[in-house]
Copies of this chain bind each other. A is one copy, B any other.
Amino acid sequence: MTLWQLEQIRIVLVEPAGPLNVGAAARVMKNMGLRHLVLVNPQCDPASEDARRMAVHGGDVLAAARVVGDLPEALAGCERAIATTGRLHPQAQPLDLPETALPWLLPTQPTESFAAALVFGPEDRGLSNEELVYTQRWVRIPASDDYPSLNLAQAVAVCSYLLHRQVLSQALGQALGQALGESFVPASGVAQGGHLAPLEQMEGFYQDLEIVLLKIGYLYPHTAPSRMAKLRRLLHRAGPDSQELAMLRGILRQANWAVSGPAKDG
């Protein structure tokens, strides 16, 4: 599936100093369907061996990275820009959550002229107040008070994932919640095909199971009903499909044969 909305988003790294970070950022961009990497006055060589090694198959994103002199140049042509920051700022511009703000970067309909940017600061200092003013919104990735500062490439990973996830949900024409239920198989309690074994077949199985459990001396007539009720609950939770039920019946048949068949050889 082509997620065209993502192709109009630039990931802007301001003065990145670590080639490993630049390479890892390119890789996760490629993973998440983002193409446009812009490096503002990089403090490392994006064509270095370290950067290329970390990019792996994101090497094309890395190779196509545009190098510019300052942030306004990186944002030229953009309609919207969001900055990431780890700090709480004295001016008290409200900091958005990534989930709230990032969807705002996505175009709502295909148009060649649209461009938007997500900006990350240098590893050591983050974006300065002077840099932040070039963007309309600021997001902070929620993190532990003990150590809130994410590695640059990790921050790119989290934001890229959230953008991809948002577009994927939109592309499926559904709220994310529905996407979870429909495009991906329902979480648990349901067999893989989604079709449970018919209840009358389950009934037949339970009856045969009870007979075998009585035969092997696990059940006694007076304990059978309550024990069988517990076994039913357990299996109902699993929700076997027909194939799985056939497997359980196969076990039962073989067990029955082993305890009462003509040729018991232990």
Contacts and interface: CB of A to CB of B under 8 A. Distances in A.
Contacts of A57: 147, 149
Given A180-B99, A255-B218, A144 B31 contact: yes
A150 B96 CA distance: 26
B237 A189 contact: yes
A234 B227 contact: no
Contact of A185 (B20, B32, B180, B213): B180
Interface residues of A, number: 88
A238 interface: yes
Interface string A100-138: 110000000000000000000000000000000000010
A192 interface: yes
Contacts of A95: 184-185
A95 B185 CA distance: 7
Given A32-B143, A96-B187, A237 B239 contact: yes
Contacts of A10: none
Contact of A147 (B20, B31, B54, B191): B31
Copy number in the complex reads 2
B168 A142 contact: yes
A187 B247 CA distance: 26
Interface of A: 1, 3, 20, 24, 27-28, 30-33, 54, 56-58, 92-97, 99-101, 137, 141-151, 153-154, 157-158, 161, 164-165, 168-169, 175-192, 213, 215-218, 227, 230-231, 234-235, 237-240, 244, 247, 250-251, 254-255, 257-260, 264, 266
17 contacts: A31-B143, A57-B147, A93-B192, A96-B187, A101-B187, A137-B187, A142-B164, A161-B161, A169-B181, A176-B183, A177-B181, A188-B237, A189-B189, A216-B251, A217-B258, A218-B250, A264-B266
